[in-house]
Chains A and B, each alone.
Chain A
Amino acid sequence: MLRVLRQKVGCGASPAMIFGQALQKVLPAGSVLPRKYSSAAKEMNVREALNSALDEEMSADPKVFLMGEEVGEYQGAYKISKGLLEKYGPDRVLDTPITEAGFTGIGVGAAYYGLRPVVEFMTFNFSMQAIDHIINSAAKSNYMSAGQISVPIVFRGPNGAAAGVGAQHSQCFAAWYAHVPGLKVLTPYSAEDARGLLKAAIRDPDPVVFLENELLYGESFPVSAEVLDSSFCLPIGKAKIEREGKHVTITAYSKMVGYALQAAEILSKEGISAEIINLRSIRPLDRATINASVRKTNRLVTVEEGFPQHGVGAEICMSVVEESFEYLDAPVERIAGADVPMPYAANLERMAVPQVDDIVRAAKRACYRSVPMAAAA
């Protein structure tokens, strides 16, 4: 057997890499490969992915600049912009005062003039201070001006729950921004998503809301040579099928993709093959991919971290009802954050955010495999 391995090494693959790849099939995508198995297989964490994407796009186009709180000398509140000030100078990496309404308006105005700003919000919770500029000044301008004033701007930063940061610092804004025509809303999950979607966002001529996740910044993912190339770009508006399946479709975005993949592992042991769709783009929503999948599996579970009412899952459910109603063999299931402001205590916080168990349970319900409820006394 070792001889076979050595032959495979001749093609350029190291034994370690083969082991690594074999391990890849067993472990859910998104979990860090154990150190001893990774070598030639390039890995990158989301932070590095975002940093490299920013670096490459700033290098390629002198009109791209970054501004936000602590993006420069502090190297980024979450170190996403590390090294960029040193490389591009203070004219292109700008530390702003803590005045979101002011600096966001300035960013949008610069985009009106033809520059390509990347405006960072330390978290999207603070974007609410600037939301008028995102929606009324950015999203609607191309329409109101009948195409005269386009706004090639990217608003990026961490979105959704972190850990223990409480109610004012934990909201998911995907549904809010995706509500608005004129905006594009992207939600990367893996390092490949982060690189490809951020590059696409910066190159896009329209305003893009780029929702990252703080807890994903440190997670590593394998990346191919193609992903590492500076011309790599992912299409906006296309979801990715992270894992193919037959029995139930599970849609998710951002951190929940990792949870959904873990759920798929657990479900597969019970004979339920789940198809996991990483939405990547909330607006435009890839209705075609979602519907094609549901037409195949006949069952759907939507997963999101944000508040349930009027959320992303509600839109996905409606899309499927409109386009693929006859294909549904069960009601659409929805897993979302709890309908409460985020609590601080660890046990309550755990209840306020979807867990892998929740996704498994919902998938089973959709497959009519859950334990029937006991009759009321």
Chain B
Amino acid sequence: MAAAAAARRLPAASLRQHRPLLLRPFASSSGDQQPITVETSVPFTGHKIEPPSRSVETTPSELLTFFRDMSLMRRMEIAADSLYKSKLIRGFCHLYDGQEAVAVGLEASITKKDAIITAYRDHCIYLARGGNLVEAFAELMGRRAGCSKGKGGSMHFYKKESGFFGGHGIVGAQVPLGCGLAFAQKYIKEGTVTFALYGDGAANQGQLFEALNISALWDLPAILICENNHYGMGTAEWRAAKSPAYYKRGDYVPGLKVDGMDVLAVKQACKFAKEYALKNGPLILEMDTYRYHGHSMSDPGSTYRTRDEISGVRQERDPIERVRKLILSNDIASANELKNIEKEVRKEVDDAIAQAKESPMPDPSDLFTNVYVKGFGVEAFGADRKEVKAVLP
């Protein structure tokens, strides 16, 4: 059995070869692509729709990819925590650790031509969309090499060429914007869809219902994903929503409730949603997920929830541990090999941080760049306009 496992598993070295960061499954031996069928942790619950089957097809290489990708995201967020505490990251920093399965499962079900838009808890979605680790850390530290050249910060990561439209600070605004992306996709007849992610706090926003109404009227290929981590900042869902059954809140728009800590369930649901939305218009997916950190680095996250609750979720439902168990029980890799992957990931993150730290802060002239695409040579002024001014090209 061990020999068979040895034959099937991916050597650690070839894992390292594969940049960009997130490993795309590749065929080395046919064993890596051998389909495995896994049952999701819980069945899907549907609102006005027949839910998909809870049997999900995956492969050994896909599971290893999931493991690596989620470990990388986990490491990145924990490293960001340290950087914030050492004051290298300033302002707001909203961490995603615990929720990795949503980012990774979603990405596995779509292409880079589909679009994703989210709120401010965006570091891992950025990475999943092909974002660069060095650029992520550089942006967090406000450096020139950042993905937004240091001008955006934690909440404003984008990668337009691979369909990631940010990175938005205003709660709920990203949902109408996402429906607008879907509108454009339909207008151009691309056969692609948009996933607009929002939290349980944003789920009560009026503009969400306005956008959903229009999306349903116009049959837009928009999928709304509520990442329900059960707390809108410090307010538990039952204190903010009369009906916290977010997958039902679309009323006339069907919905699906998904275990958001189960990456295979997420993948299945998103694949189902894409097929549905292309034919029928909007759909809501509620991902039952959890964030280990507080709302942001300014929030300890323990004044409104018990430490027992947090550690309970970590023990019972952690998305990375779940995939680790699957890999081990299917003899895809050994525990040691998985530990090695985690070590590599840790080194990758450390190297990226070191590289990002070397990037300088933006040039002062960057204060005035990108105000407009076309500035017509207009003057823009600094605090003392007789001291500092620039011409906008």
Residue B74 lies at the interface, judged by CB distance under 8 Å to chain A: no
- Give the contacts of B136-182 with A (CB-CB under 8 A): 148-152, 156, 158-160, 165-170, 173, 175-182
Which residues of A are found within 8 Å of B213, using beta-carbon distances? 97, 99, 102
Of A106, A107, A144, A150, the residue contacting B373 (CB under 8 A) is: A150
Not counting A97-B214, A144-B148, a sample of 15 additional A-B residue pairs whose C-beta atoms are within 8 angstroms of each other reads: A97-B213, A101-B210, A102-B207, A105-B210, A109-B181, A112-B177, A136-B169, A137-B177, A144-B167, A145-B158, A146-B152, A147-B373, A152-B373, A205-B372, A287-B379
Residue A322 lies at the interface, judged by CB distance under 8 Å to chain B: yes
Stretch of B183-191, B302-310, B312-320, B341-349 with 4 or more beta carbons under 8 angstroms from chain A: B183-191
Whether A206 contacts B187 by the Cβ 8 Å rule is no
Residue A181 lies at the interface, judged by CB distance under 8 Å to chain B: yes
Q: How far is the CB of A133 from chain B (nearest CB, A)?
A: 7
Interface residues on B, range: 35 or more
Interchain residue pairs with CB less than 8 A apart (26): A97-B213, A102-B179, A103-B210, A105-B180, A106-B176, A108-B177, A109-B176, A109-B181, A109-B182, A113-B180, A115-B183, A133-B177, A137-B173, A137-B177, A142-B370, A142-B373, A143-B371, A145-B148, A146-B148, A146-B151, A148-B159, A182-B372, A204-B374, A205-B372, A206-B373, A284-B376
Residue B206 lies at the interface, judged by CB distance under 8 Å to chain A: yes
Q: How far is the CB of B185 from chain A (nearest CB, A)?
A: 7
Residue B4 lies at the interface, judged by CB distance under 8 Å to chain A: no
Whether B173 contacts A103 by the Cβ 8 Å rule is no
Q: Which 6 A-B pairs have the closest CB atoms?
A: A109-B180, A105-B176, A102-B210, A113-B184, A146-B149, A99-B210
Whether B207 contacts A101 by the Cβ 8 Å rule is yes
Residue A164 lies at the interface, judged by CB distance under 8 Å to chain B: no
Residue B1 lies at the interface, judged by CB distance under 8 Å to chain A: no
Residue A29 lies at the interface, judged by CB distance under 8 Å to chain B: no
Whether B181 contacts A113 by the Cβ 8 Å rule is yes
Q: How far is the CB of B361 from chain A (nearest CB, A)?
A: 14
Whether B373 contacts A105 by the Cβ 8 Å rule is no
Contact flag A109-B148 (CB < 8 Å), given A137-B170, A206-B374: no
Q: How many residues of A contact B (CB 8 A)?
A: 48
Closest to B150 in A: A146
Give complex CA distance A136, B183 in Å.
Answer: 20
Interface residue ranges, B against A (CB under 8 Å): 115, 117, 148-152, 156, 158-160, 165-170, 173, 175-185, 187-188, 206-207, 209-211, 213-214, 217-218, 369-374, 376, 378-380, 385-386
Closest to A146 in B: B149
Give complex CA distance A345, B337 in Å.
Answer: 82
Contact flag A106-B211 (CB < 8 Å), given A115-B187, A137-B173, A237-B378: yes
Whether A145 contacts B211 by the Cβ 8 Å rule is no
Closest to A152 in B: B373
Closest to A182 in B: B371
Residue A104 lies at the interface, judged by CB distance under 8 Å to chain B: yes
Whether B160 contacts A148 by the Cβ 8 Å rule is yes
Q: How far is the CB of A319 from chain B (nearest CB, A)?
A: 10
Interface residue ranges, A against B (CB under 8 Å): 65, 91, 94, 96-97, 99, 101-115, 132-133, 136-137, 141-150, 152, 181-182, 184, 204-206, 235-237, 284, 287, 322
Which residues of B are found within 8 Å of A149, using beta-carbon distances? 158, 160, 165-166
Which residues of A are found within 8 Å of B211, using beta-carbon distances? 102, 105-106
Give complex CA distance A287, B168 in Å.
Answer: 34
Contact flag A148-B180 (CB < 8 Å), given A97-B210, A105-B175, A181-B380: no
Contact flag A110-B166 (CB < 8 Å), given A102-B207, A105-B175: no
Q: How far is the CB of B382 from chain A (nearest CB, A)?
A: 12
Give complex CA distance A107, B125 in Å.
Answer: 24
Q: How far is the CB of A203 from chain B (nearest CB, A)?
A: 10
Question: Most chain-B CB neighbours within 10 Å: which of A102, A104, A142, A204?
Answer: A102
Whether A106 contacts B179 by the Cβ 8 Å rule is yes
Give complex CA distance A97, B212 in Å.
Answer: 12
Contact flag A136-B376 (CB < 8 Å), given A91-B187, A106-B211: no
Give complex CA distance A108, B206 in Å.
Answer: 17
Give complex CA distance A55, B343 in Å.
Answer: 61
Of A104, A105, A115, A146, the residue contacting B184 (CB under 8 A) is: A115
Whether A145 contacts B152 by the Cβ 8 Å rule is yes
Contact flag A108-B184 (CB < 8 Å), given A144-B152, A145-B158: no
Whether A145 contacts B156 by the Cβ 8 Å rule is yes
Give complex CA distance A144, B380 in Å.
Answer: 17
Whether B176 contacts A101 by the Cβ 8 Å rule is yes
Give complex CA distance A99, B158 in Å.
Answer: 28
Which residues of A are found within 8 Å of B386, using beta-carbon distances? 322
Which residues of B are found within 8 Å of A287, using beta-carbon distances? 379
Which residues of B are found within 8 Å of A204, using beta-carbon distances? 374
Give complex CA distance A149, B167 in Å.
Answer: 11
Q: How far is the CB of A72 from chain B (nearest CB, A)?
A: 13
Whether B385 contacts A322 by the Cβ 8 Å rule is yes
